[in-house]
Amino acid sequence: MGCGPGLYARKLSDTGYDVTGIDFSRRSIAYAREHDRKTKYIYQNYLEMEYNEAFDAILLIYCDYGALIPEERKTLLSKIHRALKPNGLFIFDVFTERTHNGKSDHTYWSWNENGGFWSGKPHLSLEAEYYYQEHMAKVKKAVVVTDNTIDEYLFWDTVFSRQTLLDEVAPSGLKLHSIYDDVCGSPYSGEADTLCLVLKK
């Protein structure tokens, strides 16, 4: 889920797995289809997917879980529970509290003559980060100005401790299978910037 341009989906397909990739970025799905004929790519919002016991495993990689609001995370977990076969695995990662340590509200700006992250055109970006430590959340706000547009973006991001994440996923019915520092399977130390859970149906 959230396969983007198919970087992982393609590797998994090449390894011999039967892979479906879902993303709601039209351009990413178009790119993925062009570069990987084996994977079945679907242009869809994964919060609206309707699968029933269809998959042995579901992956959500690069801390996308924490970019969702609590209601969406609940919806997602219930959709995943339904989409997994019995004993199926859900593998995902989140950023930990460590990534917020020592951070406080701040603003910054940049002029990007040759385009950049926010736009391919020359643009001015005015950015701000606000930390809500009691909610373990942060919002990044960007106002991006080009010669004929002004766009505003808000990125919410929730970080988790092992306990807050386990408490949150418990009602979904998915059970803890294993825990790692990252999706590469580094042993769990509790001291990394990410945390990867493998949950089992």
Ligand X SMILES: C[S@@+](CC[C@H](N)C(=O)[O-])C[C@H]1O[C@@H](n2cnc3c(N)ncnc32)[C@H](O)[C@@H]1O
Binding interface with ligand X (CB under 6 A): 2-4, 7, 22-25, 28, 45-47, 61-62, 64
Residue 24 or 122: which CB sits closer to ligand X?
A: 24
Sequence-distant (6+) residues with CB within 8 A of 159 are: 66, 94, 95, 96, 97, 99, 100, 136, 137, 138
Are 49 and 83 within 8 A, CB to CB? yes
Shortest Cβ 35–ligand X spacing (Å): 13
Residue 109 or 153: which CB sits closer to ligand X?
A: 153
Shortest Cβ 139–ligand X spacing (Å): 16
Bridge partner residues of 107 (DSSP): 128
Please state, in angstroms and rounded to a whole number, the distance separating the CA atoms of residues 183 and 200.
Answer: 16
Residue 73 or 123: which CB sits closer to ligand X?
A: 73
Shortest Cβ 113–ligand X spacing (Å): 26
Residue 25 or 161: which CB sits closer to ligand X?
A: 25
